[in-house]
Amino acid sequence: MNQILQSWLKWLIVGMALPASLWAASAEHMEKLLRTRQCPECDLLEASLAEADLNGANVQGADLRRANLQRTRLEEAKMAGARLEGARMMGIRLIKADLSDAKLSGANLLSANLLEAKLADANFFRANLRFVNLERTTSERAIFRDANLQETNLGRSLLNEANFDGANLLLANLQQTSLVSARFKGADLTRATLENANLSGATLFRANLSGANLQGANLFHTDLRSSKIDSDTNLDPKWLLVWRVANQRTAGQSLVKVDFSGANFEKVNLEGLNMAQSNFNQGFLFITNLRRANLKQATFVRANLRYADLQSANLFGADLEGAKLLNANLKDADLRLANLRESEINDETILDRKWRMVWQIVNQGAENKNLTGAELSFAHLRLGRLRSANLARANLSGANLAGADLVGTRLIEADLSGANLEGANLRGAVLNRANLRGANLTSAITTNANFCGAIMPDGQEFVCR
């Protein structure tokens, strides 16, 4: 019993001789770190390392929670996966340090220097990063939710998919920073500098952009809904108009021939607007309300219109090549001469029977198909594959068949009045008694085609031989 008591007293005396800050940390690990600078996975909980010179140290995966690292030098240190929650890191030097996947929730990094540090997947939730230098860091997928980043320098950094939801970025510098798909939901970016930043696909929903400078910023697919701007916010004219359309009532406003390419109008109400001949190429119009909108000759090349409501919209002559129309509602939409080539639809896409047939012909071809009496007036069938199809008595009036493959196609008594057949291949086609009044046959190949009894473009009947 006396031996056990003596042993306990010995460790008590040793413990009392150590600084209070080391009681939580392993004395052995502290000694190892200070002597060798190699202490991965070490227990350094609440350790006092203020002003220590640990440049190049390896503390990967170490437990440094609530440690005192004020003005500590850890340049080029290996700290990946380290736990630094609640650590005091004011004025710390972490230039070129690797903090990938490190945990820094609630840490205080006031005025720290992390120039060119590696911060991919690091977690700075509710950390104090005011006045911190984060220039040219690699910080993809890093978490800065609810963090204080006032007057912080993030210029020229790689912050793709980083999360700044709820963060305070007042007067922060994000100039020329890559923020592709980054999140700023509810963030305060008042008077922040985002000049020439890449915010492609970023979320600025409910962000405060008062006085922010976004001149030259890439806002392709950026969510600007419910964001706040003021007269001092610097936005390029194109994106300022996109912001207004996404956030302000635009009923009755004419938006003809406007460049909306790459704009994000997710869930925006554009019902009934006149946007004829406007450019929506590569736009993001997910669940957008375009009911009864005038979209005549508008372009939607490779635009995302999934779940969009286009019921009764005027899409006459619109270019929908490569557009995503999955689950979209196109009931009663005017798709005359609309280009549906390479567009994507599914069983849930609401599309009138006529236009679903046009989509199938354009995208799947109709070689050797029986399309007798088909209603295809004003269909956009340019370059269509209709070789040897049976289109007897089909209505193709006003259709665009420029460059179409109509070799051996049966067009007996078909209505092709006003159709565009420029450059079409009609070799061996049968057009007996077809109506071609006003049709364009410029450069069409008509070798061995049979026009017996057909009404030709000039209104004259072709005399059978």
Give the confidence band of 25 by pLDDT, cuts at 50, 70, 90. confident
Closest CA to 190 of 228, 142, 135, 137: 228
Mean pLDDT of 417-430: 98
pTM over 0.85: yes
pLDDT at 5: 36
pLDDT in tens, 197-234: 999 999 999 999 999 999 999 999 999 999 999 999 99
In this predicted structure, the answer to whether residue 12 has a pLDDT above a threshold of 50 is no
Q: Which of 11-25, 394-408, 445-459 has the lowest mean pLDDT?
A: 11-25
Give me the domains of the chain, ranges plus CATH numbers: 251-364 (2.160.20.80), 366-465 (2.160.20.80)
Note the pLDDT tens digit of each residue in 385-420: 999 999 999 999 999 999 999 999 999 999 999 999
